[in-house]
Structure 1
Amino acid sequence: MRAPAKTEEELPLDDRGKYIYYEVMIRKGKTKEELIELAKAYFKSESAPKVNLLEKDSLYTGKGKFIINKTAFVLTRPSGEVRYQLYLDFKEGKYRFWLTDFCFIPYQRDRYGNFVPATSIGLPLEQKPGKLNAAEWTAYLKATTKEAQEFAAHLKQGMLADTPIIKPAAKAIPVQSTKNQKW
């Protein structure tokens, strides 16, 4: 197993010039199908991030987002979100995953005081900001690195389960009919 990158380091660039978080994990004794079922069960669980997996050949893809918070003194508020693309690939006894195509979408307050995306078009994290936003952009990169590492830690923990996570069955709610009742 490979240790995650240090928090202080920024994400490396891939061959396309995009930031990437990449890991290969070895699970001896697990078949490809078992690993796929574990991943599907993990992403269906309540504790997993909301990512819908789509299968393309043997590669699973999905889109998700991290919320980036800004802290001033004791108060914390969301300053934006970073959307990413997730890729999962499985082989006998090992799997790999990577997060890439990070785009930042700033938040603003709406007329009700809620924080909502200011625009639907994201700014790629690879794009260098001007001098005024350089410090904030560096903070966004550090927060994205931290969130990617936390995502990876949770995914690895979910994939360590020997059996897929099974949701408890919901109890049937008795149906009350109001037609033709004598009262």
Structure 2
Amino acid sequence: MMMKNILMAFVCMLFARTAFAQKDSLAFDENDKYIYYQTVSQPGLSTDSLYNRGLYFIKTAYPKSKLSMVTADKTQGVIMGKGSFLVSKKAFITTHEDGAISFSMRIEVKDAKYRYWFTDFVYTPYQRNRYNVYEPVPGVAIPMEQAKDKIDKDDFAVYLNKILLNSKQIGGVLKTYMLKASALPKEEKKIKKISTKEW
């Protein structure tokens, strides 16, 4: 009987881990584009508070080259950003930039909850120039949905994994900003004016 209970507990744990892994992975959206999508409950916080924290995150959490704001709409509770990260390839004993993957990020807030997702993943290959420096190949931008047929199969799998890791990492930073009131910008103290005419 005890063995049966242990087996049942193990199966439940395995199922829970599998369900979590499926939830926390890349998927396809309604337009058949890769997406990393998360919803988060934040009990006790208003739309305004979550919006302000999300706005502060997108403006300050990363250098503009990695993530920058595109638009922000307080009435709709929507913040949009874009970013990119490098992917590398190992050759013999050295590693070099193989390309860059750009993406868009969207944050939506409501009372006591918010959601965010990453999509529009586009791969830009790099090539070595005459100065032995790797740079983007001009005019080449491959949506990840089409990349499977255009780049090496192993590279494609590695890039998808890096997209997932990058999305999870940025999403984790967003969650810390959404939790902390200290993440909000401090209000500047107004300097008191003193009149020397009256005393």
User: Shorter-chain TM-score: which interval?
Assistant: 0.7 to 0.9
Unaligned residue ranges in structure 2 (runs of 5+): 1-16, 189-199
* 2:113 match: 94
* 1:50 match: 67
- Residues 75/166 of structure 1: CA separation in 2 closer, same or farther (3 Å cut): farther
* 1:172 match: none
For 2:150 and 2:59, the matched residues in 1 are separated by 42
- Residue 163 of structure 1 pairs with residue 178 of structure 2: no
- Residue 14 of structure 1 pairs with residue 25 of structure 2: no
How far off its partner does 1:129 sit? 3.0
Q: What is the Cα-based RMSD across aligned positions, in Å?
A: 2.9
Q: What pairs with 1:32-181 in structure 2 (closer than 5 Å)?
A: 32-45=47-60, 47=62, 49-56=66-73, 57-72=76-91, 75-130=94-149, 133-166=152-185
For 2:50 and 2:92, the matched residues in 1 are separated by 44
* 1:180 match: none
**Total equivalences in the alignment:** 165
Question: Which residue type is aligned with residue 175 of structure 2?
Answer: K
For 1:132 and 1:51, the matched residues in 2 are separated by 28
Relative CO higher for 1 or 2, CA cutoff 8 Å, sep ≥ 6?
Answer: 1
How far off its partner does 1:140 sit? 1.2
Q: Match for 1:27 among 26, 29, 42? A: 42
**Equivalent residue of 1:145, what SS?**
helix
How far off its partner does 1:35 sit? 0.8
Unaligned residue ranges in structure 1 (runs of 5+): 170-183
The answer (yes or no) to whether the contact 2:51–2:77 under 8 Å persists in 1 is no
For 2:20 and 2:100, the matched residues in 1 are separated by 22
Question: Which residue type is aligned with residue 53 of structure 2?
Answer: L
Report percent identity of matched pairs: 27
- Residues 129/157 of structure 1: CA separation in 2 closer, same or farther (3 Å cut): same
- Residues 37/69 of structure 1: CA separation in 2 closer, same or farther (3 Å cut): same
- Residues 131/79 of structure 1: CA separation in 2 closer, same or farther (3 Å cut): closer
Could you tell me the TM-score, scaled by structure 1's length? 0.77
How far off its partner does 1:74 sit? 5.0
How far off its partner does 1:72 sit? 4.3
